[in-house]
């Protein structure tokens, strides 16, 4: 008897949110369907992970409505804060957690909230059949900090869409066009990047900041204030979120990719920069140095504007260095996995649960 390949994919809010995590979810659902899976999309409240009682009650009802022995893949933004629901359904449902990065590592959390996230996510993950992470670095972190056995863990990286080999940097715009892609949240460090650039006004450059401004509106406003404080309104443009085809054009026009992240579970924007053959200035814990090879980047101390400023200056003034790092980026980008390859890995992982 052939077992039915069906599953429910649970996530908070709208799948259209322009973040790396939601792009991963969307693409993996599409790849699974292409491989013959029937995928039911189950949307929870957009309040997760900082959700109230009504959002939790809604989540409880949605999980109880799922059929017995269903494979349920749940995005970690929600799964990490619902251990009670996971405990209730651990035998009835085949629970699979998708961890982009541990919730307690998000910047800007109070110590009490971070500790609560840590404890709740640690408990919730004990009730899963599998835990999918989006990088080997996050896998190691989940294994070591949450005591998840290696046998239950799988690292399935984001894929890429193969592109023609990018133009070499001497064919890109002059003066250099800097690009930063990421939701405007403290963890992505756009404030550090602006502070760094405020000390480089004697050089020619322009920065495009692309990313959702709605995730942390207070931070987004502070960033605008910081740009104005340093009189950079004519040199830094905040674009907000853009459609995928528009984002591709930003990568095509850029000369240097810069992201002063504090932490990344994988760093899809870094991978896209590699795919576009862009030299990179980067910082951050987690998977940053796994995703970005040294041959493609200058690495800086996280949260340190002075360190980032020094690296940016080197990349801006030394065209030979920029060309070398661009060559390293293009080589690394050509070796990145495709979405079809990664979708097949996820499919095989889930088939083992049938």
pLDDT for 169: 53
CA distance 22 to 16: 7
pLDDT for 52: 86
- How far, in whole angstroms, is CA 201 from its chain's centroid? 30
Six token digits for residue 174: 């002059």
pLDDT for 215: 87
CA distance 104 to 107: 8
Q: For the chain, what are the domain ranges?
A: 6-159+338-351, 169-334
The three-point CA angle 41-43-48 to 5° equals: 140
pLDDT for 171: 47
Q: Do domains 6-159+338-351 and 169-334 have the same CATH topology?
A: yes
**Which CATH code for domain 169-334?**
3.40.50.2000
Q: For domain 6-159+338-351, give its CATH number from 3.30.930.10, 3.40.1050.10, 3.30.460.10, 3.40.50.2000.
A: 3.40.50.2000
- SS3 of residue 92 by DSSP: coil
pTM for this one? 0.88
Name the percent of the chain lying above pLDDT 70.
96
Q: Kindly report the backbone phi and psi dihedral angles of residue 181, in degrees, each rounded to the nearest multiple of 5, phi listed first.
A: -120, 125
Residues with pLDDT less than 50, the chain: 1, 170-171
């Amino acid at each position: 008897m052939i077992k039915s390949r069906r599953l429910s994919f649970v996530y908070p809010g709208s799948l259209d949110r322009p973040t790396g995590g939601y792009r991963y979810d969307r693409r993996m659902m599409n790849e699974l369907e292409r491989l013959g899976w029937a995928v039911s999309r189950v949307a929870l409240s957009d309040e997760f992970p900082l959700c109230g009682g009504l959002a939790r009650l809604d989540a409880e009802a949605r999980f109880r409505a799922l059929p017995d022995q269903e494979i349920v893949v749940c995005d970690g933004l929600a799964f990490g804060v619902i251990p009670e629901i996971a405990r209730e359904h651990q035998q009835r449902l085949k629970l699979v957690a998708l961890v982009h990065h541990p919730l307690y590592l998000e910047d800007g959390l109070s110590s009490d909230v971070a500790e609560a996230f840590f404890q709740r996510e640690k408990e919730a993950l004990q009730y899963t059949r599998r835990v999918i992470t989006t990088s080997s670095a996050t896998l190691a972190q989940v294994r070591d900090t949450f005591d998840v056995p290696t046998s239950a863990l799988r690292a399935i990286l984001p894929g890429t869409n193969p592109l023609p080999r990018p133009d070499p940097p001497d064919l890109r715009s002059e003066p250099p066009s800097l690009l930063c892609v990421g939701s405007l949240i403290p963890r992505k460090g756009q404030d550090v990047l602006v502070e760094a650039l405020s000390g480089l006004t004697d050089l020619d450059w322009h920065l495009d900041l692309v990313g959702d401004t709605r995730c942390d509106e207070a931070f987004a406003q502070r960033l605008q204030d910081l740009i104005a404080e340093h009189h950079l309104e004519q040199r830094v443009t905040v674009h907000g979120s853009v459609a995928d085809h528009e984002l591709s054009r930003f990568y095509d026009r850029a000369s240097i990719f810069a992201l002063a992240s504090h932490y990344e579970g994988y760093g899809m924007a870094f991978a896209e920069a590699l795919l576009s053959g862009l030299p990179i200035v980067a910082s951050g814990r987690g998977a940053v140095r796994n995703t970005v090879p040294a041959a493609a980047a200058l690495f800086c101390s996280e949260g340190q504007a002075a360190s980032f400023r020094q690296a940016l200056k080197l990349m801006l003034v030394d065209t030979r260095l920029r060309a070398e790092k661009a060559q390293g980026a293009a080589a690394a980008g050509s070796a990145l996995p495709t979405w079809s390859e990664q979708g097949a890995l996820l499919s095989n992982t889930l088939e083992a649960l049938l």
